[in-house]
């Protein structure tokens, strides 16, 4: 039985708010004469999994850059936890509860699985200790009860407790992605942007990752925005899905609605049928 995560100051108290945790309104991005995004609007409700799909070049990566603060849009706005963060730096968004993973896992060779999660926790809760952590290995053995409890709960939740002492450089890609997700969750986020988390994974690894994300989401404390080429994974996990094509939003709906949407079929897979939900 999976233990619940101990609460952090970023987690909601009482009944969930109807206000989106993350939203983008009218976002437009131009690179010279090229319009990469045109009047895009998305919302991520509290404690939800939302999918973002589209063909190559549809604008998914550009939108992720806008949401995470790496790119400022030419028009439109981004809101995080009720705050306008359109002009805010990534560090400010992280303090408001935004975390993200990357298409290629950004892990540190020489650190163990557990140390990566401890690092994530201290990024959010003990930033003054980071320099000591990185230059003096003795610091990793000095942890408070709250930190130990949260890190242990996260490893249990993600099914990686048995790997706690393993150097991440020895892990296969599927487990590396779970470690990266764990590090992001250790910061105590309200929303995590997942950038192609199944890239390079086989079917077994993808199923393991999907199950871990559902376990986390079931606790009701965090939302995920999932950018993914694996349409079956997105339809199986997400409560709602946004579809981009050539920088424009062409469809929004439940996985069942997206699967049968003619515009999505034409833009994304041509004459190929979208996979059934849950396949």
Q: What is the pLDDT along the chain (279 residues), one digit of tens a residue?
A: 444 555 444 443 333 446 899 999 999 999 999 999 999 999 999 999 999 999 888 999 999 999 999 999 999 999 999 999 999 999 999 999 999 998 888 899 889 999 999 989 888 765 555 545 555 554 555 566 778 888 999 999 898 999 999 999 999 998 999 999 999 999 999 999 999 998 888 898 899 899 999 988 888 689 999 998 888 899 999 999 999 999 999 999 999 999 889 998 888 655 445 556 554
Q: Give Cα separations from 275 to 98, 123, 195 (angstroms).
A: 31, 39, 21
The pLDDT, as a whole number, for residue 56 is: 87
Which phi-psi region, left, alpha or beta, contains residue 42 (left: φ > 0; alpha: ψ -120 to 50)?
beta
Question: How far is it, in rounded angstroms, from Cα 190 to Cα 195?
Answer: 16
Question: How far is it, in rounded angstroms, from Cα 146 to Cα 153?
Answer: 11
Domains of the chain: which residue ranges? 39-269
Give the contacts of 56 (CB within 8 A, at least 6 positions apart).
Answer: none
What backbone torsions phi and psi does residue 20 show, to the nearest 5 degrees? -60, 145
Q: In what order do the strands lie in the sheet with 49-53?
A: 98-100, 191-195, 223-227, 49-53, 240-245, 248-253
Question: How far is it, in rounded angstroms, from Cα 119 to Cα 142?
Answer: 12
The pLDDT, as a whole number, for residue 1 is: 41
Question: What's the CATH class of domain 39-269?
Answer: alpha beta
Residue linked to tokens 């890190």: 151
Torsion angle, CA of 173/101/229/23, rounded to 10 degrees?
Answer: 160
The pLDDT, as a whole number, for residue 26 is: 98
């Amino acid at each position: 039985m999976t233990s619940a995560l101990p609460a952090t100051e970023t987690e909601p108290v009482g009944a969930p708010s109807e206000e989106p945790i993350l939203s983008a309104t009218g976002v437009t991005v131009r690179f010279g004469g090229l319009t990469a995004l045109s009047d895009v609007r998305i919302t991520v409700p509290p404690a939800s999994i939302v999918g973002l799909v589209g063909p190559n070049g549809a604008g998914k990566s550009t939108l992720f850059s806008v949401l995470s603060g790496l790119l400022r849009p030419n028009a439109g706005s981004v809101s995080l936890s009720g705050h306008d963060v359109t002009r805010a730096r990534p560090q400010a968004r992280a303090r408001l509860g935004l975390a993200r993973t990357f298409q290629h896992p950004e892990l540190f060779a020489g650190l163990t699985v557990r140390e990566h999660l401890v690092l994530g926790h201290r990024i959010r809760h003990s930033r003054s200790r980071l320099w000591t952590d990185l230059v003096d290995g003795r610091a990793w053995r000095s942890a408070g009860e709250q930190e130990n409890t949260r890190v242990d709960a996260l490893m249990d939740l993600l099914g990686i407790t048995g790997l706690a002492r393993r150097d991440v450089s020895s892990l296969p890609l599927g487990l590396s992605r779970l470690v990266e997700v764990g590090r992001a969750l250790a910061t105590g986020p309200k929303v995590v942007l997942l950038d192609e988390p199944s890239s390079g994974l086989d079917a077994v690894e993808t199923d393991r990752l999907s199950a871990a994300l559902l376990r986390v989401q079931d606790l009701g404390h965090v939302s995920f925005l999932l950018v993914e080429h694996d349409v079956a994974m997105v339809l199986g996990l997400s409560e709602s899905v946004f579809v981009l094509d050539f920088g424009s939003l062409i469809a929004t709906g439940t996985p069942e609605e997206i699967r049968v949407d003619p515009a999505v079929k034409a833009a994304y897979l041509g004459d190929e049928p979208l996979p059934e939900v849950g396949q």
